[in-house]
Structure 1
Amino acid sequence: MDHLHDIIPQLSADEKQIMATITNVEGSAYRKEGTAMLLQTDGDSIGMLSSGCLEGDLHHRIDDVHAEGAQVVSYDMRGYGELSWGEGTGCNGVIEVLLEPVTEELAASMRRMHDAVNQGETVLRWATTEGSGWFIRGAEPDGQTVQLAGQAAAMKRGSGRSSISDSRGEKIFVQTIRPRPRLFVFGAGPDARPLMQMAVRCRYEVTALDWRPAALEKVKNEIPEAKRALGYPHEWWAETAFRSGDMAVIMTHHFERDREALMHLLQQPMAYIGVLGSKTRTKRLLQTETLPEMVTTPIGLSIGAEGPEEIAVSVISQLIALQNAVKTGEVMA
């Protein structure tokens, strides 16, 4: 997942910043189209576009971008000579990067977009060297973006590429920006906390749900970024509104709590419901011999994982694979 959710709160026109976004990749590259990075003159940055071979040059372009305006820069990563950008890093493609000066107008627009995304909306953002904008997917775009909306829809049905050309031949970058994925972990025991830690590092919005204050206190200390919901299942539901695309892992190690959580989640618009344990135990939870298709048990990719840390790796890998499968065919992953 890219750093856009981290970048937007840090956008400021009070200091010289540029936003760099990969808009097109021909061949292979370290990062994909849509990956964004924020750079500023003091050398600080958020995110990365490569394994380190482009960032130095991008920092040197900050003053020029602010003086001349947005521009697209192309880096050929295919060579291995001293003058090539590839420098044997393993990349073997051509990368186009859109550089935008962070103005008050851009920062304000991006914050409004981020507010919409945080409310659960999926938006399409378009950008050219002449300007940028966004609209909520499924909603009627304003007059300025009607044509772009049509082009984006056609592009989505076609190749799925993130750059299109208008009638003048100018490239228009369009990307899909979805809400930060939400993971609900039912149970805050010692095997659940490594999963939460890894999910937070992979930029999931994590919520731990447990009826034991001591367990949630450890979550607070070990994973301060995670939200916490203290109580029994009927209290969890009163405080938690699920939305399409949410993911859940059930691992309370308490049969009745697991059953209550699973029965409720089956009525929600979940993208993933994982139940720790064997299929046999999960069938007992539901009192059925046929598990619903949306239930994954045992959880995680089959990599022979042992112990909480390895299981966490297998589960997060499974969630990432699921998300990437859903992204296929979208305007921008």
Structure 2
Amino acid sequence: MSTTGDGDPWGITTLDLFELLEDAVQSDRSWVVATVIAVDGSAYRRPGAKMLFGPDDSAFGGITAGCLEGPLADVASEVRRADEPEIATFDLTSDDDGWGLGLGCEGIVDILVEPVTRSWQAPVEAYHRGEPIALATVTDDTAPVPVGTRAGIAVDGTPIETGGPSLPSSVLEGVSERAGELAAAGRSETVTVTTGDGSVNVFVDGIDPIDRLLIFGGQPDTRPVSRLARSVGFHVTVATARGGQADPDRFPNADRVVATHPTDLEELVDDRTSVVLMSHNLLDDRLALEGLLETAAPFIGLMGPRERFQRIREGLEDDGVTLSAADRDRIATPVGLDLGGGETVEIALSIVGEVVAASNGRDGGRLRDREGPIHDRVQSQPE
């Protein structure tokens, strides 16, 4: 798969970035990763957002709307030269910010800029396996522990070896429980740990594992759905009940194309896999849905009118299958947001839009009607 965001390195997804990180960890060349660790006020991205800088000064990913990438690239070059992590602070609230930006924005952004080392291998592998993990990194240059010292932490608070300097046990004990919570939630925040040697600020980066989308169908309308889903960062599998349609060349944007019986879709699903059924075959969709009800799939979208779903539901009831309240909540039919468009790509956008909203726990409403901040804030926990 392409890792350049449809030709735009700034627009790459988290999936693309972690694929690049995977290559960078294995490379002998000097890559640099920048992570937003704190935001005071408003900013384009929240803590945990990342960029990568290649050995040739190429940049991948965006942590602002574009206003900081130049100064941040300069910091990355210095980090590459010194082979030491650095905390860069950008005050975007003032026209006299010291960086010559004159942006007059509304936030102060702290960014950890560090060489890519083997310490990233464990979180990269966990991301691709679909396992939550938190990366706890010292970010306080006045602390008794060097900036960049880190540990991986699982959802149960168990330390995960990352290689290189590791957190002292006193710091690890103080941060592990909260780090496990943030790993499970896929959220990031700074935690202050008080030890006998002083206080230590630790940035806990809860890395949300890869999200997957399984599309069941092999007709041409599957292609724009798979294209848009991959472009927004889903790992996409196209499954078809017709072996002759299971040609990867027909679905160039999918990560995987398989032929399978509708009753075997559950083998392709876990609790991070959303599903869209669009085979246009009533029996195949019913068989697929019946099997998927036994899985942990959080979202099951079914293409077609309500009358079609009623026929499928009646068929399930004839087989002794009654939809529970939880089932009715995760089944979306007709699948898609109400965008009002009828073009094929608009229909695909509607479908993928609902999948994105559901995976983020949202209903896809208009931002202007949302009260409070656009992005949820993580409240720091008391010590």
**Counterparts of residues 250-329 of structure 1 (less than 5 Å):** 250-287=277-314, 292-325=328-361
Give yes or no for contact 1:17–1:39 (8 Å, CA) kept in 2: yes
Give yes or no for contact 1:16–1:62 (8 Å, CA) kept in 2: no
**Counterparts of residues 74-89 of structure 1 (less than 5 Å):** 74-80=89-95, 87-88=102-103
1:65 match: secondary structure: helix
Give yes or no for contact 2:135–2:152 (8 Å, CA) kept in 1: yes
Give yes or no for contact 2:157–2:180 (8 Å, CA) kept in 1: no
**Counterparts of residues 201-240 of structure 1 (less than 5 Å):** 201-217=231-247, 219-237=248-266, 240=267
Residues 261-307 of structure 1 show CA distances to partners (whole Å, capped at 9, x for unaligned) of: 11111110011000011222112102169772221111111121313
1:166 match: secondary structure: strand
2:133 to 118, 123, 135: 123
1:331 to 1:285, Cα distance in 2 relative to 1, 3 A: farther
Q: What residue number does 2:76 align with?
A: 62
The answer to whether structure 1 residue 6 and structure 2 residue 19 are counterparts is yes
Q: Distance in 2 between matches of 1:328 and 1:283?
A: 37
Q: Distance in 1 between matches of 2:351 and 2:328?
A: 19
| Residue 41 of structure 1: how far off its partner (Å) | 4.1
Residues 173-195 of structure 1 show CA distances to partners (whole Å, capped at 9, x for unaligned) of: 11221321010001021111101
RMSD over aligned Cα atoms: 3.1
Q: Distance in 2 between matches of 1:85 and 1:48?
A: 20
1:248 match: secondary structure: strand
2:87 to 54, 57, 72: 72
2:53 match: secondary structure: strand
Letter in 2 for 1:115: E
Q: TM-score, normalised by structure 1?
A: 0.85
Q: What residue number does 2:9 align with?
A: none
**Counterparts of residues 128-277 of structure 1 (less than 5 Å):** 128=138, 129-138=147-156, 140-141=158-159, 144=169, 145-152=172-179, 162-167=189-194, 168-217=198-247, 219-237=248-266, 240-277=267-304
Letter in 1 for 2:24: L
1:115 to 1:17, Cα distance in 2 relative to 1, 3 A: closer
Residues 73-116 of structure 1 show CA distances to partners (whole Å, capped at 9, x for unaligned) of: 1111223569666645x8421111001122xxx3x232233223
| Residue 48 of structure 1: how far off its partner (Å) | 1.7
Aligned residues: 323
Give yes or no for contact 1:16–1:40 (8 Å, CA) kept in 2: yes
Unaligned runs of at least 5 residues, structure 2: 1-12, 139-146, 161-167, 363-374
Q: What residue number does 1:28 align with?
A: 42
